[in-house]
């Protein structure tokens, strides 16, 4: 446990992908940053596994995209299925970017790469310190925390970034509302080894009355590791091999799928919520603290990293002497983007979980028809890759 200083220019609460990204941007800018996390060590589970083109562009500016590319799998194609029929395709191949694909890479690897980059810049994460309260006035902010033994302490800062996830204490302390609701379905999430019929350059998204199921390849020497995400009415707490096999047999019939090993599985409930504001005085929100949404399209972590990179660079410039009014552009730039993502992923999720047979038939016909139009396919790829957020 390292000692927390009494003052800092910026305190970042939370060392997930958003906090680490903001930490790198600010450390590079020469700011005096303190990054606190309540966990004794970083989470080591895979969670968000999709990194989109726009995120790779943003991370290129921080010098980590090439390393991420080395550790991930390049996936340029998305195919939409209804049962055993492919009904639509989208490709990232023709996008105007140096990264015309999505990169599949476990979140634990992404975080390890970001942490190593932060440390190379001279920054570090102080653990385990749980932030309990934020109080502020016109001249600064006081961040209250407890250490591993429960001893209280505080740090005085010019600015605070709440990158402390969906249940953000910073957001709560700042009195910022988190408007939205939870989806009725729960989500099953599993990383498995299996025999799967589709090429490993493709993400397969299955629509079925029981729910939506996404299968995507994960980095692995044997070439048999996949991420499975599926909506179900009531998911078991720890989905077993038989649960995953049952889901895939029902939703992708006649494909000869054989699940061989479950490496990690979990269930979670998804919310669609957006912070009413991204800023309250000297307190800012980034990542899941500011927005959460359906994992459809794999946008959650991506949007958070992009928030944090912008916020880190704006704060870095203000601390170096630019006018403080520059900070107003953070909410006005990033909140509409998150609103767009919440709305878009909500639409996909609702469309994907249609139950009535006529509604499904109409949806499939519509999707099959419109995605034959090259401009529509390109617009969809543009949206999913988040290049539209440039
Ligand atoms: C099981 C699971 C599966 C997921 N699957 C996907 C997926 O398939 N696709 C996708 O896009 N997204 C997925 N997500 C969401 C994705 O992981 C998040 O979008 C991403 O982690 C958000 O990053 P963040 O940095 O904003 O917050 P987080 O990663 O949540 O990090 C917040 C950090 O803040 C720390 N913290 C919290 N409170 C305090 C406090 N009071 N004091 C100090 N530290 C604090 C936490 O310890 C944590 O390290 C999944 C999440 C979970 C839990």
How far does residue 359's CA lie from ligand 1's centre (Å)?
A: 35
SS3 371: coil
Residue 21 to residue 27: CA distance in whole angstroms: 10
Calculated CA dihedral for residues 156, 22, 346, 166, nearest 10 degrees:
-40
CA separation, residue 141 to residues 53, 106, 163, 280, 307 (Å): 36, 35, 16, 11, 21
How far does residue 49's CA lie from ligand 1's centre (Å)?
A: 12
What pLDDT band is residue 327 in, cutting at 50, 70 and 90?
Answer: very high
How far does residue 22's CA lie from ligand 1's centre (Å)?
A: 15
Write out pLDDT tens, residues 197-223. 999 999 998 988 788 899 999 999 999
13 lines ligand 1 (CB under 6 A): yes
Token pair of 108 as six digits = 């634990």
Strand bridging mode 152-162 / 7-13: parallel
Angle at the Cα of 150 from the Cα atoms of 149 and 155, rounded to 5 degrees: 110
pLDDT at 227: 95
pLDDT at 162: 98
- Contacts for 156 with CB less than 8 Å, ≥ 6 apart: 6, 7, 8, 140, 141, 142, 143
Write out pLDDT tens, residues 118-145. 999 999 999 999 999 999 888 999 999 9
Q: Helices 300-319 & 53-61, crossing angle to 10 degrees? A: 30
What pLDDT band is residue 346 in, cutting at 50, 70 and 90?
Answer: confident
What pLDDT band is residue 5 in, cutting at 50, 70 and 90?
Answer: very high
Beta strands in 37-139 (DSSP E): 50-51, 73-75, 77-82, 85-91, 102-104, 125-126, 130-137
52 lines ligand 1 (CB under 6 A): no
Nearest-CA residue for atom 26 of ligand 1:
287
Nearest-CA residue for atom 52 of ligand 1:
47
Residue 350 to residue 229: CA distance in whole angstroms: 16
386 lines ligand 1 (CB under 6 A): no
How far does residue 28's CA lie from ligand 1's centre (Å)?
A: 24
DSSP secondary structure letters along 322-364:
S-GGGGHHHHHHHHHHHHHHHHHHHHHHHHHT--SHHHHHHHH
How far does residue 163's CA lie from ligand 1's centre (Å)?
A: 9
Of the CA atoms within 13 Å of residue 133, those in its CB half-sphere come to 8
Residue indicated by tokens 């194609």: 77
pLDDT at 99: 96
Strand partners, 34: 11
Residue 197 to residue 287: CA distance in whole angstroms: 35
For residues 34-43, average pLDDT: 93
Residue 72 to residue 36: CA distance in whole angstroms: 28
Residue 72 to residue 46: CA distance in whole angstroms: 13
In contact, 276 and 177? CB cutoff 8 Å: yes
pLDDT at 326: 97
Residue 127 to residue 160: CA distance in whole angstroms: 17
Token pair of 312 as six digits = 């880190």
What pLDDT band is residue 1 in, cutting at 50, 70 and 90?
Answer: low
Give CA 71 to chain center in angstroms. 18
Write out pLDDT tens, residues 282-293. 999 999 999 998
- Contacts for 270 with CB less than 8 Å, ≥ 6 apart: 182, 183, 185, 186, 187, 292, 293, 294, 295
Write out pLDDT tens, residues 47-83. 889 999 999 999 999 999 999 999 999 999 989 898 8
Write out pLDDT tens, residues 252-282. 999 999 999 999 999 988 889 999 999 999 9
């Amino acid at each position: 446990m390292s000692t927390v200083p009494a003052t800092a220019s910026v305190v970042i609460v939370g060392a997930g992908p958003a906090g680490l990204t903001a930490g790198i941007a600010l450390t590079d800018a020469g700011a005096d940053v303190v990054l606190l996390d309540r966990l004794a060590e970083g989470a080591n589970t895979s969670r968000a596994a999709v990194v989109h083109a726009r995120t790779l562009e943003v991370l290129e500016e921080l010098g980590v995209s090439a390393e991420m590319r080395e550790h991930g799998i390049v996936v340029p194609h998305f195919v939409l299925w209804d049962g055993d029929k492919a009904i639509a395709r989208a490709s990232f191949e023709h996008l105007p970017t140096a990264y015309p694909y999505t990169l599949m890479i476990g979140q634990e690897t992404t975080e390890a790469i970001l942490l190593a980059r932060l440390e190379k810049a001279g920054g570090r994460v102080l653990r385990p310190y749980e932030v309990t309260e934020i109080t502020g006035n016109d001249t600064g902010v006081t961040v209250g925390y407890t250490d591993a033994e429960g001893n209280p302490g505080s740090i005085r800062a010019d600015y605070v970034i709440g990158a402390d996830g969906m249940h953000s204490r910073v957001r709560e302390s700042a009195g910022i509302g988190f408007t939205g609701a939870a989806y009725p379905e729960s989500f099953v999430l599993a990383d498995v080894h299996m025999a799967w019929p589709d090429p490993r350059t493709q993400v397969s998204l299955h629509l079925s009355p029981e729910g939506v199921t996404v299968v995507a390849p994960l980095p692995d020497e044997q070439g048999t590791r996949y991420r499975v995400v599926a909506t179900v009415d009531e998911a078991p707490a720890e989905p077993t091999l038989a649960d995953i096999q049952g889901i895939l047999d029902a939703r992708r019939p006649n494909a000869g799928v054989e699940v061989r090993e479950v490496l990690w599985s979990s269930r979670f409930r998804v919310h669609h919520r957006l912070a009413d504001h991204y800023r309250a005085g000297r307190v800012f929100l980034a990542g899941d603290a500011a927005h959460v949404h359906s994992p459809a399209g794999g946008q959650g972590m991506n949007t958070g990293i992009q928030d944090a990179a912008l916020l880190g660079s704006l704060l870095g410039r203000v601390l170096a002497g630019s006018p403080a009014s520059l900070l107003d552009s953070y909410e006005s730039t990033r909140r509409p983007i998150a609103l767009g993502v919440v709305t878009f992923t909500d639409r996909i999720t609702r469309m994907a979980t249609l139950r009535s047979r006529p509604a499904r038939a109409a949806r499939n016909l519509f999707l099959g028809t419109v995605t034959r139009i090259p401009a529509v396919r390109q617009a969809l790829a543009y949206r999913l890759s988040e290049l539209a957020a440039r």
